[in-house]
Amino acid sequence: MIRCPRGTRDFLPDEMERRRHYEGILRDVAHTFGFREIGTPIFEEAELFIIRSGPNILDELYGFKDKGDRELALRPELTAPAIRLFVNGMSNHPKPIKVFYFGQCFRYERPQSGRYREFFQFGAEIIGSATPETDAEAIALAVSMIRGLGLTDYRVRIGHIGILRQRLVDAGVGKDDMAEILRKLDKKSYDEAEPLLEDAGVSDADIADIFAMTDGTDGIGILAGIAGEAGDHLRSVLSCLRDMGVRDVEVDLGVVRGLDYYTGIVFEAEAPALGAEKQICGGGSYTLSELFGGEKVFSTGFAIGFDRILLALEKEGAVYEADGIGAYVIPASAEMRTRATEVTALLRAAGIPTDTDIMGRKLAKAMKSASDSGARCAVIVGAKESEDDAVTVRDMVSGAQTVVGIADLADFIRRP
Ligand code: ATP
Ligand code: MG
């Protein structure tokens, strides 16, 4: 038996309906913030992702050569494609440009719960603006999306890459050691960071101070003591967020993320209930367009791991009730089949999701199909009612039967 490839999933109708429901909520929230959707190809020139993330990305990339010898790759993320789209076709649109996207990404990873080789991201980018309001807008959208889905147990941590970098520079860390040390601090691997800091000549007092700064406790208090532009910027972002009613965010100056291309604000959201794979959203401000042949513009964006956030909702016991169909039409006898087909067509034209028997089943069996279909009501087309241009509507929950004229049928069924 052939199965879907390792790390990928099939979605059966119930699951697909649930996914579309939540996807719709995210799209609606993005619209309420004035963002517009974009679409980009599933595969791109591999170079695009290498430029953005460095050659290490090749380990995760589904890369291939096409018949014209082009080096292509299935997209592992959507920020680089979004910025490529901006450089190619939107660079002279009025700024800021506010776009969002939803689509699958591919990474060659070790599959586990919440980690797949094909997964979905819902993300947004604000392109061409670098104000604190820009960052606040992006973070507020991310938080509103998470809340909009109904998730209650989540944490949002905001940092500023410039504050930690500056602190490390002040403590004597040179360019060559910076990336490695940041990586350890990002993971809060202090045992591994300590010898690196010592080797870089950082004093014990500074090391203790740097660890306290990045451990995520009392971020707000520590931020209050930080002078300079980066500190001011982060304080302004927090103040904007408060104005927008977003107060449940934490300051964590240890948030570093992808390291190389973020320039200012960095933020992450997590759902603690998910354990190891708990990060449900990551973002920050960056510049990328100049690497793709455009002019340099500042942007802020984020991506929500759609599959993970759905897992988190499930863990919280959120249940999605499928809508089901409105009506299941059944001919009471073989002679009434044509009439039943006409009634089906009429209800469908009226926008009511309607199903009918297409397997020539007799009344009792067709009633069973109606029940299996999850329809709210069965519409039984009998000879006697037909003479009066009517049908019998059976409420599938209460079992109550009503004779309803064809002219009123759609309205009758639509009524809750
Ligand atoms: P992680 O540290 O968990 O690998 P990441 O830093 O690689 O995450 P990003 O590149 O920031 O993740 O992607 C944004 C979001 O996409 C993540 O926060 C996560 O929710 C989700 N995500 C990333 N990789 C996967 C995957 N393989 N399967 C499912 N979701 C993923
Ligand atoms: Mg990863």
Rounded alpha-carbon distances, angstroms, from residue 207 to 147, 197, 214, 227, 252: 37, 7, 11, 19, 17
Q: Is residue 8 part of a domain?
A: no
Q: Is residue 398 part of a domain?
A: yes
- Tokens representing residue 387 in the block: 């003479």
Q: Is residue 322 part of a domain?
A: no
Q: Which residue has the tokens 């449900």?
A: 280
- Asked if 279 and 270 touch (Cβ cutoff 8 Å), the reply is yes
Is any atom of ligand 1 closer than 6 Å to the C-beta of 279?
yes
Among residues 162, 280, 146, 272, which one has the least CA distance to residue 223?
Answer: 162
Q: Range of 146's domain? A: 13-315
Distance (Å) from CA 11 to ligand 2 centroid? 23
Is any atom of ligand 1 closer than 6 Å to the C-beta of 115?
yes
Q: Which atom of ligand 1 is nearest to the CA of 115?
A: 28
Same domain, 155 and 217: yes
pLDDT tens for the chain, residues 1 to 416: 999 999 999 999 999 999 999 999 999 999 999 999 999 999 999 999 999 888 888 899 999 999 999 999 999 999 999 999 999 999 999 999 999 999 999 999 999 999 999 999 999 999 999 999 999 999 999 999 999 999 999 999 999 999 999 999 999 999 889 888 998 998 889 999 999 999 999 999 999 999 999 988 889 999 999 999 999 999 999 999 999 999 999 999 999 886 567 889 999 999 999 998 999 999 999 999 999 999 999 999 999 999 999 999 999 999 998 878 999 999 999 999 999 999 999 999 999 999 999 999 999 999 999 999 999 999 999 999 999 999 999 999 999 999 999 999 999 999 87
Same domain, 340 and 275: no
Same domain, 378 and 256: no
Same domain, 98 and 221: yes
Same domain, 391 and 371: yes
How many whole angstroms separate alpha carbon 373 and alpha carbon 297? 53
Q: Which ligand lies nearest the alpha carbon of 275?
A: 1
- Asked if 210 and 229 touch (Cβ cutoff 8 Å), the reply is no
Q: Which CATH number covers residue 90?
A: 3.30.930.10
Q: Is residue 2 part of a domain?
A: no
CB-count exposure of residue 94 (10 Å: 0-12, 13-18, 19+): exposed
CB-count exposure of residue 69 (10 Å: 0-12, 13-18, 19+): exposed
Q: Which CATH number covers residue 403?
A: 3.40.50.800
Is any atom of ligand 1 closer than 6 Å to the C-beta of 109?
yes
* Domain end (from 284, 315, 346): 315
Same domain, 310 and 409: no
How many whole angstroms separate alpha carbon 332 and alpha carbon 27? 44
Same domain, 229 and 361: no
Same domain, 208 and 348: no
Give the closest residue (by CA) to ligand 1 atom 24.
115
Q: Is residue 287 part of a domain?
A: yes
Q: Is residue 320 part of a domain?
A: no
Tell me the whole-structure pTM to 2 decimals. 0.94
Q: Which ligand lies nearest the alpha carbon of 283?
A: 1
Same domain, 118 and 251: yes
Among residues 363, 343, 361, 360, which one has the least CA distance to residue 352?
Answer: 343
Q: Which ligand lies nearest the alpha carbon of 281?
A: 1
Q: Is residue 136 part of a domain?
A: yes
- Tokens representing residue 51 in the block: 């430029």
How many whole angstroms separate alpha carbon 416 and alpha carbon 411? 10
Same domain, 122 and 61: yes
How many whole angstroms separate alpha carbon 68 and alpha carbon 390? 64
SS3 content of the chain, % helix, strand, coil (to 5): 45, 20, 35
Name the CA radius of gyration of the chain, rounded: 28
Give the closest residue (by CA) to ligand 1 atom 19.
305
Considering its fold, how many domains does the chain have in total?
2
